[in-house]
Amino acid sequence: MVQRIKKWFHRPTRLESHPTERARRRNLLPSSSSYFHRLTEEEERKLAKRFEGKLLLRREIPLSDPQFNDLLRHQLFTPHPSFIKTIFQTRCKRCNNDKPSLLASFPCAKCCRTHLYCRNCIMMGRVSECEVLYEWNGIRYQWPTLLNACTWKGVLTPAQEKAANLVKKAIADKSEMLVWAVAGAGKTEILFPGIELALSRGARICIATPRSDVVRELYPRIGQAFKNVEVEALYGKKKNKDGTAQIIIATTHQLLRFNEAFDVMIIDEIDAFPYHKDRSLAFATNRAAKKASAKIYLTATPRGDLKQKIRRKQLPHCFIPIRYHGHPLPEPKLVADFSLSKRLTNKQLPKSFIRWLDQRERKTRQLLIFVPTIQLAEQLKVETAAVLLLKKLIKDESEVAFAHAEDELREEKVRQFRQRNIYCLLTTTILERGVTFPSVDVVVLQANHDVFDEAALVQISGRAGRAKDDPDGEVIFIHDGKTEALVDAVHAIKKMNLRAKTFYTKESER
């Protein structure tokens, strides 16, 4: 393949044999009168900012053919074959996938041949065997050094400050660390001093996360905290995906287009699906960071592998068991209801839920109801609206909505829920983490379903009691048979609250 590219690369293109080009070569025409003029420093700097630190397909490079071919000829772009083939295996250069089951062939209309493409990274556009990945090879872009870039005026709690100092140190040393902080601890603010330090050194920063909802939640907050810095969000549905800002907030999928671009790589919600299931995302995140870079991982629910690294002292970490407002995490109440499956099959709400509605402490809190499937989220909407109307909790059906991964209007509905225009949102695990609503009660229907693992249930509980003026919130898990995940989640929350108490005692003794 390499051979073939080289041959193709050196063969004179149609444009090279163009009479204007031949004339320019013989110096008959001044270079500015053709496409092929020397780049000014400013032009090259602009190109460097746009293309440096990336691995792109031709169609992802928005330059005209003459312009692009010229840059290629001057070796400002280096082509790489999209598949690395050895006798034993074939590997996708973009996502590192080498599973034969995820490599398929298709009839390519462009070359009238059947060839290989990678199914693993198809959501980023198809990489086929006849295509090439381009890497910028021109000057390095100098990111500006920005002093006192943080415009956030809040104050960190002592627990946050302790963690923030460790993050700063890891960024200064270009080392790796984990921030293990309960939901509602104020993880984002912990990053601010570290990001400020990095910017003062002219570093480029990436905050990556497996969930696009988390990207959308983080983007305005980071933008607000660093008002004079270029901040850009990258996720699947976003139209403009140039990725030219100094601070990039991206889904881990989007990092498949980057290559040694960032001095600081922060991975928020590192344990979230699909990051822990898809090896290519960890690969992409690693490749997107420069060889010498700081790596900061954030999570409220580290999985087994991270916990093991902590135990073996292979990964420095800091632990924050208390929320920023100092109140404990709401402990979930388990409610057994053995008619649950039957009611849900009939698109009805369980009776235990309706009974609980009457006993709620604070009816002004919004309702966040988690269900195991997309189908159920949609099916229960009508019944939920009817029940809430009957109980006079809403005035109109439109105050009930569903939001799930395949819902086109999800973003808008989440926004409406946050603005309290929607009273009750039925959702799947898509909103289990990374989203903050100030005052909600949380219900999980069929909490014993497989999709609700321990981490998901702990995260879901963490949606309640986020605000200082309403730090409690009720969390109800309705089930028809306890699972290990259910019991472990409740146990994990109680343990955190216990650790928070001792943390407080230790702090006040100082």
Closest CB to Zn ion among residues 121, 400: 121
- Mask: binding to Zn ion, 125-154, rule CB under 5 A, as x and -? -----x------------------------
Closest CB to Zn ion among residues 95, 426: 95
Least Å from the CB of residue 215 to Zn ion = 22
Closest to 383 measured CA to CA, from 346, 422, 341, 348 = 348
Closest CB to Zn ion among residues 130, 139: 130
Alpha helices in 273-316 (DSSP H): 279-288, 304-311
Least Å from the CB of residue 27 to Zn ion = 38
> CB neighbours (10 Å) of residue 246?
22
Least Å from the CB of residue 8 to Zn ion = 12
Query: What backbone phi and psi angles, to 5 degrees, belong to 435?
Result: -115, 140
Residue found by looking up tokens 């790796």 in the block: 176
| Interface stretch with Zn ion, choices 43-51, 61-69, 122-130, 166-174 (CB under 5 A) | 122-130
Give bridge partners of residue 136 from the DSSP assignment: 77
Least Å from the CB of residue 94 to Zn ion = 5
Q: Does 118 bind Zn ion (CB under 5 A)?
A: yes
Contact 446, 372 (CB under 8 A): yes
Residue found by looking up tokens 């140039």 in the block: 242
Least Å from the CB of residue 111 to Zn ion = 4
- Mask: binding to Zn ion, 359-378, rule CB under 5 A, as x and -? --------------------
Query: What backbone phi and psi angles, to 5 degrees, belong to 292?
Result: -100, 100
* Torsion, Cα of 120, 123, 128, 133 (10° steps): -100
Give bridge partners of residue 335 from the DSSP assignment: 478
- Burial zone of 99 (CB within 10 Å; 0-12 exposed, 13-18 middle, 19+ buried): middle
Q: Write the Ramachandran bin of 252: left for phi over 0, alpha for psi from -120 to 50, otherwise beta.
A: alpha
Closest CB to Zn ion among residues 62, 125: 125
Least Å from the CB of residue 274 to Zn ion = 15
Closest CB to Zn ion among residues 110, 153: 110
Q: CA-to-CA distance for 57 and 132, rounded, in angstroms? A: 6
Kindly state the number of chain residues that form the binding site for Zn ion, as judged by CB under 5 A: 11
| Interface stretch with Zn ion, choices 2-10, 45-53, 115-123, 445-453 (CB under 5 A) | 115-123
Identity of the residue numbered 83: F
- Mask: binding to Zn ion, 72-111, rule CB under 5 A, as x and -? --------------------x-xx-x----------x-xx
Is-cis flag, bond preceding 274, omega within 30? yes
Least Å from the CB of residue 271 to Zn ion = 23
Closest CB to Zn ion among residues 110, 237: 110
Least Å from the CB of residue 53 to Zn ion = 19
Closest CB to Zn ion among residues 253, 433: 253
Contact 458, 300 (CB under 8 A): yes
| Site residues (vs Zn ion, CB under 5 A) | 92, 94-95, 97, 108, 110-111, 118, 120-121, 130
